[in-house]
Amino acid sequence: MPVNTIWVVAEPASGGITTTSLELLTAARGLGSEVAAISWGPATASNAPLFGEYGATTVHDVGDLGGSLPGVPVAAAIATLAGSGAPDAILVPASYDGRDIAGRLSARLDRPVLTNVTGLGEEGSLVSEHPVFGGSLTVKSRFTSEAPGIFVIRAKSFAAEPAGGAPAALAALGVPETGATGTATITASHAEERTGPSLDEASIVVSGGRGLGEASAYAMIEELATLLHGAAGASRAIVDAGWVPYSHQVGQTGKTVKPAVYLAFGISGATQHLVGMKGSRTIVAVNKDRDAPIFSIADLGIVGDVHKVLPALIDALKNR
Amino acid sequence: MNVVVCVKQIPDPAAPPSLDPETHTLDRSGKLILDDSDAYGVEMALQLVDAAGGGEVTLVSMAPNSETGGLRTALAMGASKAILVSDPALKGTDALGTAKVLAAAIRRTPFDLVLAATESTDGYTGTTPVQLAELLGLPSITFAKSVAIDGSTVKVERQTEAGFDEVSSPLPAVVTVTAGVVEPRYPSFKGIMAAKSKPVDHVTVADLGLDGQVGFAGARQEILDVIAAESRDHGEIVEDDGDGAARIVTFLEAVKAI
Ligand SMILES: Cc1cc2nc3c(=O)[nH]c(=O)nc-3n(C[C@H](O)[C@H](O)[C@H](O)COP(=O)(O)OP(=O)(O)OC[C@H]3O[C@@H](n4cnc5c(N)ncnc54)[C@H](O)[C@@H]3O)c2cc1C
Ligand SMILES: Nc1ncnc2c1ncn2[C@@H]1O[C@H](COP(=O)(O)O)[C@@H](O)[C@H]1O
């Protein structure tokens, strides 16, 4: 059965749409003959040319959510739309709101979800790829349920490439009554100040882990990142400990990064960390334990103390 | 204030995981322990009930076998009782099927709040709690890094890409917590002894009226293949003899990063 219609949930981000959403649109147009986007927020109409460029012929605009978390209203709107003609597949970015939308939609439509998808292909039907055990194995799956199949796809699984299509046609998509489910509201938003390139896009990422010993040592990670014009990242251990904000986390529940160089200081290399950085072009690791799993994928491994290597490295770069 | 905590019992993550050669799903046949991710929800629930000045923490769990080791750990932390849905028919159940089971089990006990982890260690779909909320007809707030109750409202700091949002919702609601939300306590000796006699209600799929909706058939998906991913070899691993930083500089020059 060929794949015809694919819907892509496209998340708004500061006036545009997220890079992951553009990646999903690019993948969708390679797999289906008809691609539509579903988006929300004030900028959807002005983004119609962008949606078109990446292959969507229509963008369904859910409009202003008025402080609601997106999960409930967006899923309810999509479910209504699916009621008058379901697509073959719905692609959702693996983000906070994306997972909420996919979960809500799955229960509403009574359709299963395939999550942690890093690849999609057409083999008679859509076949998805999922990394397991830290990315050492790939599981290939498909739905046996009736359409639509809901796929939650990780960032950087596909390249985002414009195809030069005409602006997408805009269609308003209303939100049905959601009762008690839709009552969670955002009362305030806090954004951290970050300077330099973003973690997702930096060509050099310098990350620190519990091996730094204490929160104040993270300043060395930031200093090194600045010297290398890169971004500072972290393992979940030090995010949970409150040393650095969550937005620095690399890994399964954090960001996926694929820089030219990834430097890991005092990070053991747990499977959940590896899936977020294994795609880096080169990897440098400093760890005092020769058996740390991070060394099994490092192009250069230094068995040593971060408190010696980091200051020396910062000095050496300053003196260049 | 009554809080239900969804807790998953999983194979010990420290042991090398393996796939069932026939079904390609995670082999869950051995001993099961409390998923560490759920210890945060249990602790959060205990603190919220404490702050409210009364109420109960009830654990709800689903597994193909009737293992209770993980539940005893959470009971030893201070939870009052547990509902365990265990049935061989649950083997192969997906996230939506799990949510159906948990929803039906939760309906058997009074609650003001349901807590779960943002994602489990062995399944990590992160969708189960949201599917559960939809089935229960409740609002949900995911990725909580702090949770407080204010009258009949739950107030959460929710992680976002850029920082965090303050989100509030009327109770009852479903909230998922991150590992940063609270520091779980270690069960005391007294707690461990007390846990042995706390009630664990064993429930089957038929008891919940969910025959046919769970297990491999209910999951409506299939694993076609498991293949070795492109492997990544390591390069030079050297002891730092005071030249570690210099070696990194040379490497960065070689790859034209500096
Ligand atoms: C569902 C789930 C999702 C998860 N998602 C993520 C995720 O997205 N990202 C993530 O990173 N983790 C994630 N984790 C957590 C992961 O399993 C690990 O616990 C975490 O990555 C460990 O962080 P770490 O390497 O900093 O700490 P540790 O594992 O404690 O390692 C510290 C390392 O530092 C070394 N060290 C100590 N002192 C020094 C020194 N002076 N000099 C040099 N080296 C030293 C030690 O040898 C050790 O290897 C997740 C876990 C679960 C269950
Ligand atoms: N079988 C289960 N029993 C109890 N709780 C579960 C079960 N599966 C998932 N959960 C809860 O839902 C969370 C997210 O799970 P998952 O969707 O597998 O990532 C878990 O951390 C648990 O809190």
Q: For residue B131, give the nearest of A56, A109, A264, A267 by alpha carbon.
A: A109
Q: What is the mean pLDDT of residues A156-183?
A: 97
Q: What are phi and psi of A210, to 5 degrees?
A: -60, -25
Lowest mean pLDDT among A76-85, A87-96, A238-247: A238-247
- A25 contact B CB<8A: no
Which residues in B lie closer than 8 A to residue A72 (C-beta atoms)? 139-140
The predicted model gives A124-146 an average pLDDT of: 93
For atom 27 of ligand 1, the residue with the nearest CA is A210
Give the binding-site residues of ligand 1, using a 6 Å CB cut-off: A 209-211, 213, 235-238, 249-254, 266-268, 270, 272-273, 276, 286-289, 292, 305-307; B 37, 119, 121, 124
Is B245 close to A145, i.e. CB distance below 8 A? no
Q: How far apart are CA B59 and CA B77, in angstroms?
A: 12
Report the largest interatomic distance among the alpha carbons of chain B, rounded to a whole angstrom. Answer: 67
Q: Which residues of A touch B242 (CB under 8 A)?
A: 308
The whole-angstrom distance between A205's CA and the closest CA on chain B is 11
Helices vs strands, H then E, count in chain B: 7, 13
Is B28 within 8 Å of B10 (Cβ atoms)? yes
A303 touches chain B (CB under 8 A): yes
For residue A94, pLDDT over 90 is answered with yes
> Which residue does chain A place closest to B226, by CA atoms?
A139
Task: State residue A149's pLDDT score.
Answer: 95
The rounded Cα A320 to chain-centroid distance in angstroms is: 36
The pTM of the full predicted model, rounded to 2 decimals, is: 0.96
Q: What pLDDT does A1 receive? A: 53
Mean pLDDT is lowest, of A84-88, A262-266, B16-20, B148-152, for B16-20
Please state, for a pLDDT cut of 90, what percent of chain A lies above it.
93
Query: Which helix (H) or strand (E) element contains residue A9?
Result: strand A5-9
The pLDDT, as a whole number, for residue A2 is: 72
Nearest CA to ligand 1 atom 41: A305
Give the pLDDT score at A48: 97
Which residues on A lie below 8 Å from B139 (Cβ)?
72, 180-184
Angstrom distance (rounded) from CA A301 to CA A291: 11
Query: Do residues B26 and B225 touch, judged by C-beta distance below 8 A?
Result: no
Average pLDDT, chain B: 95
CA distance to A191, A295, B189, per residue, from B70 (Å): 38, 33, 16
Please tell me whether residue A234 adopts helix, strand or coil conformation.
strand
**Of the bound ligands, which one is closest to the alpha carbon of residue A116?**
2
pLDDT score, position A136: 86
Q: Is residue A132 predicted with pLDDT exceeding 70? A: yes
> B178, B144 in Cβ contact below 8 A?
yes
pLDDT at residue A193, rounded to an integer: 82
Does residue B191 have a pLDDT over 90?
yes
CA-CA-CA-CA dihedral for B50, B38, B80, B139, to nearest 10: 70
Helix H or strand E segment including A294 = none
Closest CA to B4 of B123, B104, B93, B94: B104
Work out the end-to-end distance of chain B between its first and last CA atoms, rounded to an integer number of angstroms.
Answer: 58
Helix axes B244-254, A306-318, angle to 10 degrees: 50
Longest dimension (CA), chain A: 66
Question: Which pLDDT tens digit goes with each residue over A188-244?
Answer: 999 988 788 999 999 999 999 999 999 999 999 999 999 999 999 999 999 999 999
The ipTM is 0.96
Torsion of CA A121, A123, A128, A133, to 10 degrees: -110
Question: Is pLDDT of A152 > 90?
Answer: yes
Q: Verify whether the Cβ–Cβ distance B161 to A96 is below 8 Å.
A: yes
Could you read off the pLDDT of B24-37 as tens digits, one per residue? 888 877 789 999 99
The yes-or-no verdict on residue B163 having pLDDT over 60 is yes
**Closest Cα partner for B94 from B213, B234, B4?**
B213
3-class SS of residue B146: strand
User: What is residue B93's three-state secondary structure?
Assistant: coil
Other beta carbons within 10 Å of B220? 17
